[in-house]
Amino acid sequence: METPKHPELVGVEEIADRLDTRRATVQQWISREVIPPARWYISGPVWDWEADIMPWAIKTRRIPHAMLFSMLNKNAQDILERDTVNSLQAKQVRLRKKSNA
């Protein structure tokens, strides 16, 4: 059984850092209601990075290229690993069939 995933909480400063922009820009997005509404308020607005900010940043093309390439690279690496495992498993099946024939 998987352990429940906890949200990665971010505030204005963390969003600015991750999206490579200024805090004032994030504050403008909030006041203009460009950014998704905050889920919680602690000492200021707080969002869930993966559920709220990341999809919004990708959709609105506000995500830094370096972060996007990193994400794509990770997905490509996962696909290559999966394909390699599938290929090796298929080869094992073929070899077993040959040895049994």
Q: What are the tens digits of pLDDT across the range 22-32?
A: 999 999 999 99
| Residue 57 shares a structural domain with residue 70 | no
CATH number for the domain harbouring residue 50: 1.10.1660
- Tell me the residue range of the domain where 100 lies: 64-101
Strands (E), 1-57: 9-10, 40-41, 45-48
| Residue 46 shares a structural domain with residue 26 | yes
| Residue 16 shares a structural domain with residue 44 | yes
| Residue 2 shares a structural domain with residue 51 | yes
| Residue 70 shares a structural domain with residue 57 | no
Q: What is the DSSP string of 7-42?
A: P-EE-HHHHHHHTT--HHHHHHHHHTT-SPPPSEES
Beta strands 9-10 and 40-41, pairing class: unpaired
pLDDT band at 6 (very low <50, low <70, confident <90, very high): confident
| Residue 71 shares a structural domain with residue 100 | yes
pTM as predicted: 0.63
| Residue 13 shares a structural domain with residue 53 | yes
Distance CA 17, CA 77 (A): 26
Tokens of 10: 């971010």
| Residue 4 shares a structural domain with residue 49 | yes
| Residue 22 shares a structural domain with residue 53 | yes
Tokens of 36: 């998704």
| Residue 56 shares a structural domain with residue 78 | no
Domain tally, the chain: 2
**How much of the chain exceeds pLDDT 90, in percent?**
44
Average pLDDT, the chain: 81
